């Protein structure tokens, strides 16, 4: 099993008055090459889960295994966890610090002991995967770049570690629509080419619907739903009940169904939704108050 | 009558401290914002939106041209505090804006700095917290609140200053869906109570709620109109790094499928209504 999370539990401030159970018996499995999205409102346990996946926190109970390495085992060396799991934090562009783009991307692999030609190759490959040209941009200061480009450099820095699992925490926050679309395409391409497991944490349900093979929904420290985007987003009422939402297309269809239409709520593609709506509406136009023949 | 905010031929150049190189962030921009209006400002990253907001809030001064807020020139140091009181600002990340550890202390911070009587401060804090529906949380520690709740406290801090205008700089970018819904609802209510609202956003659905949209590019305003006028130009918006709201896109697709939907649909509600005429 590529990524297996089993009965993971974590309690903050154990034994103190403000004791909080942040994770309660969370279990799920992600197959190799799958794209998982994690959604949940602030305080749902999402961040605590991420910190476990990245080996920053140890659970009270349960385990996380990736490609046979038990990262929750205290005996597993930290460097092994760093090598296998790449985490791109929120607003990662604030963490760029080297003088040139290439040096910044090289920082991680260098720490793994990679040097010379192998290092250059990794750096160039990582930059190209994010859509940046190492020849024109490699020697520039990261601070000369645009916001969207800086974010790609930060992602390249994580990619250069060749992680088995890449986690992106709100990668499109604060980007304009075009930069957002471009970055999502880049993430999709990286996922396809590297064939690794990608985890996207997002508040944007449209991004989740577009990118993910599977969606994990967190609420009050529990994994309350796990399934394909279609399965998860067809449970709109429950999602709203826990402070989340549905993609725009789903919201439209649900609104129409409340007014008496019977459209399939699992449609996520805009064109498919348009076809379904047009088919449902088509027979009626320009026939106001049509006197349909009653059956029976 | 003069506009509440008047911007005339505004220029702002950033100077790179190391190289001494100048970058023009605002390029001969002219605009007026009338009192009581709700204006959304759109534009790609780096188009100058946040710089403009900072110039209105006197966090930066013009290289050339002028910004007048309620008849006061931002370049005139005498008016700095009066302008900031008349036109408050709410930033993207509430954590950068909150100063105390307890909710009501944080909201009281501004009025206290104005040297108000304690009784008046208490009254203002209470009203401001009620305006953002956070009255129950007055004694809570800020770190116990969610992102959306913190942003509401940041808004309460602005409201407690009794501003006539509030500038929101991407206030929902870091929030979960529920937090976004709550903050937008509060902005709409503050506007309905007569406060001039300026909302900088990357979300087209949010801009559709405003009564006017300004689109910025390369430091200047390149489109100015109602949401209907702006969103009926999808090609132009795309060339500016933007997009149209979902409802506009879906209405276009449905028209292509032969449904005679009226023009000018920009919100999901309007689209739903348009489709339900045939139900």
Q: Look up tokens 């909150």; give the residue.
A: B98
pLDDT digits 0-9 by tens, A148-193: 889 999 999 999 999 999 999 999 988 999 999 999 999 999 999 9
Query: Dihedral of the CA atoms B71, B74, B77, B78 (nearest 10)?
Result: 20
B118-131 helix and B147-159 helix, angle to the nearest 10 degrees? 130
pLDDT digits 0-9 by tens, A21-39: 999 999 999 999 999 999 9
Quick one: DSSP state of residue A95?
Answer: G
Q: Which of B43, B45, B216 to mutate to test the interface with A (most CBs of A within 10 A)?
A: B45
Radius of gyration for the alpha carbons in chain B, expressed in angstroms and rounded: 20
Partners of residue A271 in chain B, C-beta under 8 Å? 253
Pairwise CA distance, residues B262 & B275, whole Å: 10
Question: Residue range B53-66: average pLDDT?
Answer: 96
User: Does A77 map to a domain?
Assistant: yes
For residue A172, give the CATH number of its domain: 3.40.50.300
| pLDDT > 60? residue A283 | no
Strands A222-227 and B38-42: unpaired
Structure token digits, residue B278: 């045939």
User: Does A36 map to a domain?
Assistant: yes
Mark which residues 25-84 of A lie under 8 Å from B by CB.
40-43
Q: Is B140 on the interface with A (CB under 8 A)?
A: no
- Please count the other Cβ atoms lying within 10 Å of the Cβ belonging to residue B258: 10
User: Does A206 map to a domain?
Assistant: yes
Using pLDDT thresholds of 50, 70 and 90, give the confidence band for residue B97.
Answer: confident
User: Does A161 map to a domain?
Assistant: yes
Gap from A69 CA to chain B (nearest CA, Å):
33
Q: What is the largest CA-CA distance in chain A?
A: 83
- Bridge partners, residue A168, by sequence: A88, A200
Query: Among residues of chain B, what percentage have pLDDT more than 70?
Result: 99
Q: Is B192 on the interface with A (CB under 8 A)?
A: no
| pLDDT > 60? residue A287 | no
Q: Which of A148, A149, A182, A154 is nearest to A166 (CA)?
A: A154
Question: Whole domain around residue A138: which residue ranges?
Answer: 3-229
Partners of residue A43 in chain B, C-beta under 8 Å? 146
User: Does B53 map to a domain?
Assistant: yes
Quick one: DSSP state of residue A283?
Answer: T
Number of structural domains (chain A) is 1
| pLDDT > 90? residue A82 | no
> Residue B249: left (phi > 0), alpha (psi -120 to 50), or beta?
alpha
B53 to B27, B69, B77, B89, B175: CA distances (angstroms) = 14, 12, 18, 8, 21
Using pLDDT thresholds of 50, 70 and 90, give the confidence band for residue B152.
Answer: very high
| pLDDT > 70? residue B1 | no
Pairwise CA distance, residues B125 & B122, whole Å: 5
Structure token digits, residue B254: 């449905």
Model pLDDT, residue A16: 86
Pairwise CA distance, residues B244 & A222, whole Å: 36
Using pLDDT thresholds of 50, 70 and 90, give the confidence band for residue A291.
Answer: very low
User: Does A251 map to a domain?
Assistant: no
User: Does A68 map to a domain?
Assistant: yes
User: Does B250 map to a domain?
Assistant: no
User: Does A239 map to a domain?
Assistant: no
User: Does B203 map to a domain?
Assistant: yes
| pLDDT > 70? residue A292 | no
Phi, psi dihedrals of residue B197, rounded to the nearest 5°: -120, 135
Model pLDDT, residue B224: 98
For residue B93, give the CATH number of its domain: 3.40.50.300
Partners of residue A148 in chain B, C-beta under 8 Å? 45
Structure token digits, residue A42: 């602030």
The terminus-to-terminus CA distance of chain A in angstroms comes to 58
| pLDDT > 70? residue A294 | no
Residues found in chain B? 279
Using pLDDT thresholds of 50, 70 and 90, give the confidence band for residue A112.
Answer: confident
Q: Which residue has the higher pLDDT, A73 or B278?
A: A73
Q: Which residue has the higher pLDDT, A15 or B200?
A: B200
Question: Whole domain around residue B40: which residue ranges?
Answer: 35-61+72-221
- Cβ–Cβ below 8 Å for A245 and B246: no
User: Does B174 map to a domain?
Assistant: yes
Q: Look up tokens 């296998």; give the residue.
A: A84
Q: Is B247 on the interface with A (CB under 8 A)?
A: yes
Q: Look up tokens 């200053």; give the residue.
A: B161
Number of structural domains (chain B) is 1
| pLDDT > 60? residue A75 | yes
Query: Among residues of chain A, what percentage have pLDDT more than 90?
Result: 77
Q: What is the mean pLDDT of chain A?
A: 91
Model pLDDT, residue A289: 46
Pairwise CA distance, residues A162 & A83, whole Å: 7
pLDDT digits 0-9 by tens, A123-151: 999 999 999 999 999 999 998 888 888 99
Using pLDDT thresholds of 50, 70 and 90, give the confidence band for residue A282.
Answer: low
Query: Among residues of chain B, what percentage have pLDDT more than 90?
Result: 83
Q: Are B151 and B94 in contact (CB under 8 A)?
A: yes
Model pLDDT, residue B144: 84
Query: Among residues of chain A, what percentage have pLDDT more than 70?
Result: 95
Q: Look up tokens 């088995």; give the residue.
A: A164
| pLDDT > 50? residue A285 | no
- Cβ–Cβ below 8 Å for A285 and B176: no
User: Does B273 map to a domain?
Assistant: no
Model pLDDT, residue A290: 44
Pairwise CA distance, residues A98 & A104, whole Å: 5
Model pLDDT, residue A86: 93
Pairwise CA distance, residues B129 & B100, whole Å: 15
Quick one: DSSP state of residue A76?
Answer: S
Q: Are B194 and B4 in contact (CB under 8 A)?
A: no
Pairwise CA distance, residues B27 & B221, whole Å: 9
Least confident of A75-84, A153-162, A180-189, B230-239: A75-84
- Please count the other Cβ atoms lying within 10 Å of the Cβ belonging to residue B15: 11
Complex prediction ipTM: 0.84
The terminus-to-terminus CA distance of chain B in angstroms comes to 47
Mark which residues 145-174 of B lie under 8 Å from A by CB.
146-148, 170, 173-174
Partners of residue B242 in chain A, C-beta under 8 Å? 176-178
Q: What is the mean pLDDT of chain B?
A: 93
Using pLDDT thresholds of 50, 70 and 90, give the confidence band for residue A1.
Answer: low
Model pLDDT, residue B151: 93
Give the 3-state secondary structure of chain B: CCCCEEEEEEEEEEECCCCCCEEEEEEEEEEEECCCCEEEEECCCCCCHHHHHHHHCCCCCCCEEEEEECCEECCCHHHHHHHHHHEEEECCCHHHCCCCCEHHHHHHHHHHHCCCCHHHHHHHHHHHHHHCCCHHHCCCEHHHCCHHHHHHHHHHHHHCCCCCEEEEECCCCCCCHHHHHHHHHHHHHHHHCCCEEEEECCCHHHHCCCCEEEEEECCEEEEEECHHHHHCCHHHHHHCCCCCCHHHHHHHHHHHCCCCCCCCCCCHHHHHHHHHCCC
């Amino acid at each position: 099993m590529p990524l297996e999370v089993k009965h993971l539990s974590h309690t903050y401030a154990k034994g103190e008055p403000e004791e909080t159970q942040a994770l309660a018996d969370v279990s799920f499995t992600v197959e190799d090459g799958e794209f998982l999205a994690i959604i949940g409102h602030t305080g749902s346990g999402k961040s605590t889960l991420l910190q476990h996946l990245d080996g920053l926190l140890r659970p009270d109970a349960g385990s996380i295994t990736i490609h046979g390495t038990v990262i929750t085992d205290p005996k597993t060396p930290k460097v092994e966890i760093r090598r296998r799991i790449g985490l791109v934090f929120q607003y990662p562009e604030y963490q760029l610090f080297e003088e040139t783009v290439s040096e910044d991307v090289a920082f991680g692999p260098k720490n793994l002991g990679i040097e010379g030609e192998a290092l250059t190759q990794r750096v160039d490959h990582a930059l190209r995967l994010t859509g940046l040209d190492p020849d024109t941009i490699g020697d520039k200061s990261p601070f000369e770049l645009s916001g969207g480009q800086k974010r790609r450099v930060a992602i390249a820095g994580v990619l250069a570690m060749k992680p088995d699992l890449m986690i992106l925490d709100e990668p499109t926050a604060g980007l304009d629509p075009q930069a957002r679309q471009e970055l999502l395409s880049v993430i999709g391409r990286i996922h396809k080419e590297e064939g690794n497991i990608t985890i996207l944490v997002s508040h944007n349900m449209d991004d989740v619907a577009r990118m993910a093979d599977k969606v994990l929904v967190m609420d009050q420290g529990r994994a309350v739903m796990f399934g394909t985007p279609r399965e998860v987003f067809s449970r709109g009422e429950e999602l709203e009940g826990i402070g989340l939402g549905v993609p725009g297309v789903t919201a439209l269809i649900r609104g129409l169904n409340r007014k008496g239409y019977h459209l399939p709520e699992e449609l996520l593609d805009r064109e498919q939704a348009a076809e379904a709506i047009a088919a449902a509406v088509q027979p009626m136009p320009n026939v106001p108050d049509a006197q349909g023949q009653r059956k029976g | 009558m003069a506009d509440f905010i008047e911007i005339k031929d505004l220029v702002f150049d950033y100077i790179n401290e190391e190289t001494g190189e100048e970058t023009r962030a605002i390029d001969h921009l002219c605009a007026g914002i009338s009192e009581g209006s709700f204006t959304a400002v759109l534009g790609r990253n780096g188009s100058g939106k946040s710089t403009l907001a900072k110039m209105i809030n006197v966090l930066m001064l013009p290289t050339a041209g002028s910004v007048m807020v309620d008849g006061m020139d931002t370049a005139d140091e005498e008016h700095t505090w009066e302008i900031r009181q008349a036109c408050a600002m709410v930033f993207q990340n509430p954590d950068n804006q909150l100063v105390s550890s307890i909710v009501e202390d944080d909201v009281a911070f501004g009025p206290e700095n104005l040297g108000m009587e304690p009784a008046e401060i208490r009254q203002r804090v209470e009203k401001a917290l009620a305006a953002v529906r956070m009255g129950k949380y007055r004694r809570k520690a800020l770190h116990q609140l969610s992102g959306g709740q913190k942003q509401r406290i940041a808004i309460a801090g602005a409201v407690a200053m009794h501003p006539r205008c509030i500038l929101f700089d991407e206030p929902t970018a870091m929030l979960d869906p529920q937090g976004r819904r709550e903050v937008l609802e509060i902005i709409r209510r503050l506007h309905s109570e007569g406060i001039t609202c300026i909302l900088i956003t990357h979300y087209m659905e949010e801009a559709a709620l405003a009564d006017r949209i300004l689109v910025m590019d390369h430091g200047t305003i390149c489109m100015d109109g109602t949401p209907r006028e702006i969103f009926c130009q999808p090609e132009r918006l795309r060339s500016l790094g933007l997009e149209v709201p979902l409802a506009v896109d879906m209405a276009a697709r449905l028209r292509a499928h032969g449904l005679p939907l009226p023009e000018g649909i920009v919100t999901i509600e309007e689209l739903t209504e348009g489709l339900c005429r045939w139900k």
